Amino acid sequence: NAGVMQNPRHLVRRRGQEARLRCSPMKGHSHVYWYRQLPEEGLKFMVYLQKENIIDESGMPKERFSAEFPKEGPSILRIQQVVRGDSAAYFCASSVLQGMGQSNEKLFFGSGTQLSVL
């Protein structure tokens, strides 16, 4: 059973370009979470999605960032017009049941995408 797959592993973008980060959850998981780790910081929640629905995007910057989890295919985190401050490691996680304050489900994490903005 393949784990959570993220790609690319490393992504380099120039300021003003777009970044697209992909995440395929574990088989049988329909709940996807995106977390970001800025340098010297802990993992910070960005967004929680179920298939075709954004459930909680309270951690997502209001501008330039968007996320989707279509009926078919991976979840996508999209950052438009990237700036240097977007440089971070972006982690995707999935769970079987909805979380977190409604169940004691653990998260299964991918290996992350390291975004570097030049």
Contact footprint for another protein (CB under 8 A): 3-4, 33, 35, 41-45, 48, 55-56, 58-59, 91, 98-102, 104-112
Cβ of residue 11: shortest distance to another protein, in angstroms? 17
Cβ of residue 24: shortest distance to another protein, in angstroms? 13
SS3 at position 93: strand
For residue 11, the one-letter residue type is: L
Cβ of residue 42: shortest distance to another protein, in angstroms? 4
- Nearest Cα neighbor of 9 from 106, 108, 92, 107 is 92
